[in-house]
Amino acid sequence: MSVPSSSLSPSASASRAVGAGPTQADLLDYVRRTASDAELIASLPLDPEGRTWVRLKGPGGSEAWLIGWPPRSGTGWHDHADSVGAFLTASGDLTEHSLTARLPTDGWKTLELTEGVDRVRRLAAGQGRAFGRHHVHEVLNESHERHAISVHAYYPPLPRIRRYSRTGQVLRLEQVERPEDWQ
């Protein structure tokens, strides 16, 4: 799906005019509008075993994805490196577990998190959020029966995704993925 530049918000058009990319608000606006496209949402093939996705053309050079979540599926803990982003649940319900603490960006393998850094958001259809650089989270479809579908957008396009494991308050860097790993 391509969004014509004339349908972007004035702030998105202005930010591109000066060479800057879309803001978190622009990305949230995009995922909200895209998630309301019932024909697009219905066109996503759903797999009972694993997540499915289709790459979309995001606004202002951003990267965007339409993602299907089978029951009891999730991303695991990860971040989007230097990209800002937004996502919105188009159908079903998703849960986001995130950390409120800003983590060091490089040079570590294991961190002990302090108490009180965990946040949980339940995002029903039509609900979403934007986030800044280095946002660490996991997204889950906790339903036992129902698929969920969501729209995601990132700017700049994802340079890498860092994947983590978590045991209690210990967060451990497990893997760094590059675009060629998921394209």
99-146 tens-digit pLDDT? 998 888 778 899 999 999 999 999 999 999 999 998 999 999 999 999
What are the phi and psi torsion angles at 103 (to 5°)? -95, 155
pLDDT digits (tens, 9 = 90+) for 56-69: 999 999 999 999 99
Question: What ranges in 36-156 are assigned the alpha helix state H?
Answer: 38-43
Average pLDDT over residues 26-32: 98
Reported as type and span, the H/E element at residue 5 is none
Distance, CA of 78 to CA of 42 (rounded, Å): 28
pTM for this model (two decimals): 0.86
Q: Where do we find the tokens 């990132």? A: 154
Distance, CA of 65 to CA of 84 (rounded, Å): 14
Identify whether 156 is preceded by a cis peptide bond (ω within 30 of 0). yes
